[in-house]
Amino acid sequence: MVEEHFIPKKYTNSIDNGSFTWSSPSNIALVKYWGKKEHQIPENPSISFTLNHCKTTTKVSFSKKEDASGFSFDVFLDNEKKDDFKPKIETFFKRIDVCLPFLKDYHFKIETTNTFPHSSGIASSASGMSALALCLMSIEAELSLDISKEDFTKKASFLARLGSGSACRSLEGDLVVWGKHDAITGSSNLFGVKYPYQVHSNFKNYQDTILLVDKGEKQVSSTVGHNLMHGHPFAQERFKQANKNLSDMISILKEGDLDAFIALVESEALTLHAMMMTSMPYFILMKPNTLEIINKIWEYRKTSGSKVCFTLDAGANVHVLYPEKEAEKTLEFIQNELLAYCQGGQYICDQIGIGANQL
Ligand SMILES: Nc1ncnc2c1ncn2[C@@H]1O[C@H](COP(=O)(O)OP(=O)(O)OP(=O)(O)O)[C@@H](O)[C@H]1O
Ligand SMILES: C[C@@](O)(CCOP(=O)(O)OP(=O)(O)O)CC(=O)O
């Protein structure tokens, strides 16, 4: 689905070569996007915390080529050629070609680096595709000159969505909604919008420590997972539930109700995995250590009165979420009780961030 507004009439400038670099964070969904229609339209609205430390930095160098008949690009991850990232980018280019008609005029060298392991359920596609979309938008802005800052971000998010749905939630901070929801003004199926309402100070600098239970690549990609929602026996109820959860989240965020926040966020995570377990074919994306960690968090919460909770993406790694004022105690708990369940004792300390930036 292409918004007319995003198709440029003509370019006013001409450039032969140049480069742009953007850094864009990953995000962690509180209400999950799981299931999509054609053209990357989500079946239900979602909301996420933008992260800070987990991010991708991408430099796109472009040079004019003689033959404008097809796409031409190379990808380097951490300075090494990464041909297995090319198909996703090729699909991305095909989807956005009509919105960025210059794509076939240039050869692109895409140099990228992630601060965290990719394809393991820490939304590397979100940070990777949003960083790439922003670099391409910078080229577009050079060629057009008349794009406002607001339109730049909106179109970059629109493009990022066509690279990976959750990527459209990575450009801004600190909470972003993607998907039309009646109670959220400005929300759209086509791009992410900054959460427009009041958020209680309990959520300021909210912490996210990611426990790396399994650093390896997931057995099933999110894209495959979304497609398993077509014809899924519980799909319609799930989409309804996500809408209701997002409605409930509005008052939770306003009131700062941490108990309600915990219940909603943990239920969303387990529902996402329940959908995978009850699809055909079915998958278990958690590992035994994922469950060990969840049980330890529940036990700790009961005995300490802490407001720590967990969420999961479509993988085995656990995001441990907690208020900033509990940071010291929670890290102590994580180090003493949870690291034994992480691969190589590894974890990433992160917190809510403000979004992408140009370097
Ligand atoms: N820096 C990057 N630049 C471009 N593409 C990237 C980058 N990092 C990852 N990708 C692409 O994203 C894919 C991984 O996406 P996938 O959805 O399978 O996992 P994930 O994003 O880590 O997990 P999830 O979205 O389920 O949380 C990679 O195979 C690659 O194609
Ligand atoms: C489990 C999730 O992280 C799903 C992410 O799915 P992707 O955005 O990676 O999927 P594609 O649109 O096919 O690229 C939940 C979420 O981030 O909302």
What ipTM is given for this predicted complex?
Answer: 0.95
Strand pairing report for 192-194 and 106-114: unpaired
Does any ligand 1 atom lie closer than 6 A to the CB of residue 27? Answer: no
CB 271 within 8 A of CB 314: no
How would you write the pLDDT of the chain (359 residues) with one tens digit per residue?
A: 556 678 777 777 788 899 999 999 999 999 999 999 999 999 999 999 999 999 999 999 999 998 878 999 999 999 999 999 999 999 999 999 999 999 999 999 999 999 987 766 678 899 999 999 999 999 999 998 678 888 899 999 999 999 999 999 999 999 999 999 999 999 999 999 999 999 999 999 999 999 999 877 777 888 899 999 999 999 999 999 999 999 999 999 999 999 999 999 999 999 999 999 999 999 999 999 999 999 999 999 999 999 999 999 999 999 999 999 999 999 999 999 999 999 999 999 999 999 999 99
Ligand 2 centroid to residue 136 C-alpha, Å: 21
Per-position DSSP letters for 58-86, written without gaps between them: EEEEEEE-S--SS-EEEEEETTEE-GGGH
pTM of the model: 0.95
CA 186/CA 195 separation, integer angstroms: 9
Does any ligand 2 atom lie closer than 6 A to the CB of residue 46? Answer: yes
Neighbouring C-alpha atoms within 13 Å toward the C-beta of 189: 14
Ligand nearest to the CA of 224: 2
Domains, the chain, ranges and CATH?
Answer: 3-196 (3.30.230.10), 204-351 (3.30.70.890)
CA 209/CA 334 separation, integer angstroms: 9
CA 131/CA 54 separation, integer angstroms: 12
- The ligand 2 atom at the shortest distance from the C-alpha of residue 226 is 13
CB 219 within 8 A of CB 350: no
